[in-house]
Amino acid sequence: MNSLFKTIVLVGRPSTPTLKEPILRLVEMLPTHGVRVLIEQETATEHQLADCQSVSRDNVGKLADLVISLGGDGVMLGAARLCAPYHVPLVGINLGRLGFLTDISIASMEEEITSILHGAFSPEDRIMLESVVVRDGKEIDRQLAFNDVVMCRGNTGAMIDFELFIDGNFVCSQRGDGLIVSTPTGSTAYALASGGPILHPSLPAIALVPICPQSLSNRPIVVTDTSSVELLLTRAHDVHAYYDNQYDCRLQAHDRLTVRRFRNTLRILHPHGYHYYDTLREKLRWGEQFV
């Protein structure tokens, strides 16, 4: 029985020497199921996989029927931005430490991937964010984010002053270290560390979590995923917008950062037996006995 997916692209975590062995295992296994295997170009170059066909990052989503990320959650965040514009599903293999998103272990990799190839998986669609920075009436930056868009100060000690608008309506003025605009997926990342709520990934919602606000009355709020969130920077010195903490745009006073739900969802394929609350319990170490 041949695979449901004809072309699979492998995307790996940079600077990880131990990655070559599991990649080669997949390169050997996948063609036995009728799959064409491509390696993301930077991954292929790092591990000297000259005998494998490679593809540039810009073309991953265009050519793949399925993307497999190998590494930690950071690799999967980057792969998500490649997949979502093209409706390409994503599978994560965990070589990292925490692994909220990457739920297949190296030990069970061949078995789990084989099952997924033949339709034994649980699909889950998750929202993504699209952000736009406008300066003097002109768009200067547009990015996608799977976890969050974060506006925050850089290395200086100065706080940020900004105004928050939702769907064009003024909400409040804030002063502090910044604001996190988070998807439900990102609610267990920086937003959680900043006191935000945990949102189930299926919720059609966006969380707004202040970072060290000057006023303790500025609390996290949750809005619908149809909302347009706009941040007007009124005082700025060394301020950046970060996208999944992987890309950034330096901001100036009077810049407008608008964040909306991206038009496409990202489809993650989980192995059968996956349950979100099992992941929370394991990763957050709920219920452990302390001695």
151 and 177 Cβ atoms separated by less than 8 Å = no
Determine the pLDDT at residue 290.
62
Determine the pLDDT at residue 285.
85
Whole-number Å distance between alpha carbons of 18 and 291: 35
**Model confidence pLDDT, tens digit, residues 69-115:** 999 999 999 999 999 999 999 999 998 777 789 989 999 999 999 99
Task: Write down how long the chain is.
Answer: 291
Determine the pLDDT at residue 19.
93
How many other C-beta atoms lie within 10 A of the C-beta of residue 146? 28
Determine the pLDDT at residue 237.
86
3-state DSSP helix/strand/coil percent for the chain, to nearest 5? 25, 40, 35
Q: Indicate the fold that domain 129-261 takes in CATH.
A: Tumour Suppressor Smad4 (2.60.200)
How many other C-beta atoms lie within 10 A of the C-beta of residue 164? 20
Determine the pLDDT at residue 1.
67
Residue range(s) occupied by CATH 3.40.50.10330 in the chain: 7-127+265-283
**Model confidence pLDDT, tens digit, residues 185-206:** 999 999 999 999 999 999 999 9
Answer CATH for 7-127+265-283 from 3.40.30.10, 3.30.930.10, 3.40.50.720, 3.40.50.10330: 3.40.50.10330
Residue range(s) occupied by CATH 2.60.200.30 in the chain: 129-261
Whole-number Å distance between alpha carbons of 258 and 108: 42
Contact residues for 78 (Cβ-Cβ < 8 A; gap 6+): 11, 69, 244, 246
Q: What angle do CA 263, 104, 130 make, to 5 degrees?
A: 15
Element of type H or E holding 133: strand 129-135
Determine the pLDDT at residue 291.
59
Which residues of the chain have a pLDDT value below 50?
Answer: none
Instruction: Identify residue 184 by its one-letter amino acid code.
Output: P
Q: Which of 207, 269, 263 is nearest to 84 (CA)?
A: 263
Which active-site residues does the annotation give? 73
Residue 32 has which token pair? 């036995």
Determine the pLDDT at residue 154.
83
